[in-house]
Structure 1
C-alpha cells in the first residue's frame, strides 16, 4: 500500500512539473543566441520579426524615500511598459516568448510545441 501511495505521489508531482512553463536564460534563433539583458534592437537584429508582438502596462508599487529635512518623496509609477514577443521556430519546436522590461530582455519562456 505504501508503494502505491509513493507511486501516486511521484506521478502527481511529475505531471504538475510538466504543466509548468519552462524558463531559459538564452534563446537560439537563426543561428544566433540572444540572452537576458539584450536590448530589443539586438534581438530584432538577431532573430528578425516575431510571430506575435504584445505590449502592455504592468502596474508597479509606489516607492517612498525619506528626505534629509524630514519630508518624504513618493515615486508613483502607474505602470511599466512591457513587451512580449513570441517566436515560432517551426513545426514540433517550442513557441518561445521573450519578455522585455525597460527595453531589455528580462525573461524567456518556452510554450507549447508549434504545429
Structure 2
C-alpha cells in the first residue's frame, strides 16, 4: 500500500512537469530545426510563424574591457494543427536558443 502512494506521487510530479516540456529540435514537414539554427534557417524550413513576439533585450556589459552587447529576444509560435502541440521558439539575437511545447494547436 505504501508503494502505491509513492507511485502516485511520482507520476503526479511527472505529469505536472510535462506541461512545459523543452525540446531541442522540432520537425517542419520533412525538415528539422534545432537549437543554434538562425532565424533565416528556421524561416526556410518552417515558413512564417503564426505569431512573432518581442520579448525584450539581452544586454551584456563588461566595464573593465568596454564590451557591450545588446541582443533582441523574440518568441515565435508555430501551429501545426489540432492534433499536435504548438511549438514555441525563443531566439536571442539571430540564434534559436530554446524550443518548447505549447498548448494544443487549432
**Using a 3 Å threshold, how does the CA distance of structure 1 residues 33 and 60 change in structure 2: closer, same or farther?**
same
**Of the two, which has the highest radius of gyration?**
1
Q: Give the corresponding residue for 2:76.
A: 85
- 2:41 and 2:71 map into 1 onto residues whose CA distance is 21
Q: C-alpha offsets along residues 14-50 of structure 1, whole Å, 9 cap, x if unaligned?
A: 2222222111111101221111111101101110111
Unpaired segments of 5 or more residues in structure 1?
65-71
Q: Give the corresponding residue for 1:32.
A: 31
Q: How many residues align?
A: 104
**Using a 3 Å threshold, how does the CA distance of structure 1 residues 10 and 45 change in structure 2: closer, same or farther?**
same
How large is the Cα RMSD of the aligned pairs?
A: 2.2
Unpaired segments of 5 or more residues in structure 2?
none
Q: Give the corresponding residue for 2:99.
A: 108
What TM-score do you get using the length of structure 2 for normalisation? 0.79
Match of 1:18 among 15, 18, 39: 15
2:9 matched to 1:9? no
What TM-score do you get using the length of structure 1 for normalisation? 0.74
Shift of 1:51: 1.2
Aligned partner of residue 98 in structure 1, secondary structure:
strand
